[in-house]
Structure 1
Amino acid sequence: MQEQLTFDLPVHAAQGVTDFLVTPSNQAAMALVDGWELWPNQKLVLAGAKGTGKTHMSHVWAEQSGAEIIDASRLGTTVIEALAGGSVVVEDVERIAGDRAAETALFHLHNLVLAEGGWLMLTANDAPSRWGLTLPDLRSRMEGTTLARLEPPDDMLLSAVLVKLFDDRQISVNANLVDYLLPRMERSLAAAAQMVDMLDRMALAEQRPVTRALAQRLFGNE
């Protein structure tokens, strides 16, 4: 009998948000997010490459704090005063680099939110010094913000995510399948979701279970 894969991982539970799995790759960042009421100057930059889970983590914090979430690309056409009464998450801040209207809007949002006692989280792929902001006052305020870094998902997190994604589709997973997938897949949570979807579609089309042999065929076809 093949070994059924199970994990005993700490799970970060947040109301209204899918459980967030905590492993060494995101533990330090999660600790900062959990301690949000102690952020210096009531603000935090959450940085991590695509697929590291920063959107999920920012939504966990928004549930905790009651923050409103806005994409940075919308700042130039947003009534900033309407956001200033509470806490705010601004996602993908590096996208507005060089956009004077959006940078100016973020500068005013930063000042208004903090002046009225709110908290501010900003997400991006990298640290503020690498965003390419052109407004000096905004750049200095962003670079002076506490930084939480999300590392690429480790094997523990990817394994647990794969198992959970399969389980969500009521597919039993054996250890040899996950062991086969881990060294061959892109190191991101999005890639894990795509991999599970592809294998599920193949299995349904062929009316067979999801196995290591099926995964070998998938990689062979690619």
Structure 2
Amino acid sequence: MTMSFGPRQLVLALDHAVSYARDDFLAGPSNAAALGLVERWPDWPNRVMALVGPEGSGKSHLAAMWAEISGARVLAANLLSEETLPTALATGALVLEDLEPEGLDERALFHLINMAREEGAYVLITVRTPPSAFKVAIRDLGSRLRALPAVTLSAPDDTLLRLVMVKLAADRQIALDQGVVNYVANRIERSFAAARAAVLRLDEESMRMHRPVTRALAAELFREDAGA
């Protein structure tokens, strides 16, 4: 098959389209509990829930799916403040995306959790580390975070890791054959972030070298990673 690299070089610096549709979510043992939480809404154990997992583990995809189902607004956690609080629960549901302890408006988060309970609203928080471990100055907020139910997304199994690589490559208009996928998957950390980095590396090097993404190219790029 003849491959042309010219057109793709023109969009190298641009973001690649990512679909957050349910049909594009890759399910596996590592995210089964989180997917179950989203799909059984509003039958939740608590009005406020947390999705915990590393970067690239699928938290944003799941949150987007839940927002579509629930009509939730989506608010970046670093924008939560006492000024944005009055409209945060306007639809009765909110995704609070990428909560981190650094720069956290503790008072606003404390009031948000209380408001959700008082108003019968739902909040889904995405976060990389368990909120129960956050060091906060407001004691009552600390107790609420420790009591907050959380569902954790774990590292992908081998099958899901390979599927993720194929999906990430397809987002970049690359068709990875099974030989490339298996070779790379056996030489990277078993994590979503590592899969993303590997596909990006293959894409960038194939365009830089004007070569298709083949097992030979993968071997050149990842042989040293395996200690060969």
TM over 0.5: yes
CA distance in 2, matches of 1:197, 1:92: 23
User: In structure 1, what is the equivalent of residue 5 of structure 2?
Assistant: none
- Is 1:149 matched with 2:152? yes
3-state secondary structure, aligned to 2:69: helix
> Within 5 A, what are the aligned runs for 1:18-167?
19-76=24-81, 78-85=83-90, 86-96=92-102, 99=104, 102-167=105-170
| Distance change in 2, residues 1:84/1:163 (3 Å) | closer
Q: Do 1:36 and 1:42's aligned partners in 2 also have CA atoms closer than 8 Å? A: no
Q: Do 1:46 and 1:123's aligned partners in 2 also have CA atoms closer than 8 Å? A: yes
> Within 5 A, what are the aligned runs for 1:185-204?
185-204=188-207
CA distance in 1, matches of 2:50, 2:179: 38
User: In structure 2, what is the equivalent of residue 206 of structure 1?
Assistant: 209
The count of aligned residue pairs is 206
CA distance in 2, matches of 1:198, 1:76: 38
- Is 1:181 matched with 2:184? yes
Deviations 1:66-105 (A, max 9, x none): 11122222223632111132211122333247x5xx1110
User: In structure 1, what is the equivalent of residue 222 of structure 2?
Assistant: 219
Q: Please report how far the alpha carbon of residue 50 of structure 1 lies from its aligned counterpart in structure 2 after TM superposition.
A: 2.2
Alignment gaps of 5+ in structure 1? 1-13
| Distance change in 2, residues 1:184/1:163 (3 Å) | same
Normalized against structure 2, the TM-score is what?
0.79
Amino acid at match of 1:145: L
Q: Do 2:20 and 2:64's aligned partners in 1 also have CA atoms closer than 8 Å? A: no
Deviations 1:156-181 (A, max 9, x none): 22100111222334433222211111
Amino acid at match of 2:27: V
CA distance in 1, matches of 2:211, 2:97: 41
What is the CA RMSD across the aligned residues, in angstroms?
Answer: 2.4
| Distance change in 2, residues 1:209/1:79 (3 Å) | closer
Q: Please report how far the alpha carbon of residue 121 of structure 1 lies from its aligned counterpart in structure 2 after TM superposition.
A: 1.0
Q: Do 2:47 and 2:116's aligned partners in 1 also have CA atoms closer than 8 Å? A: no
| Distance change in 2, residues 1:79/1:175 (3 Å) | closer
CA distance in 2, matches of 1:208, 1:79: 49
Q: Please report how far the alpha carbon of residue 18 of structure 1 lies from its aligned counterpart in structure 2 after TM superposition.
A: 6.9
Amino acid at match of 1:123: T
CA distance in 2, matches of 1:185, 1:136: 42
| Distance change in 2, residues 1:66/1:149 (3 Å) | same
CA distance in 2, matches of 1:16, 1:164: 13
CA distance in 2, matches of 1:215, 1:105: 48
Q: Please report how far the alpha carbon of residue 107 of structure 1 lies from its aligned counterpart in structure 2 after TM superposition.
A: 1.0
3-state secondary structure, aligned to 1:21: coil
| Distance change in 2, residues 1:166/1:125 (3 Å) | closer
Structure 1 or 2: larger helix share? 1
| Distance change in 2, residues 1:216/1:147 (3 Å) | same
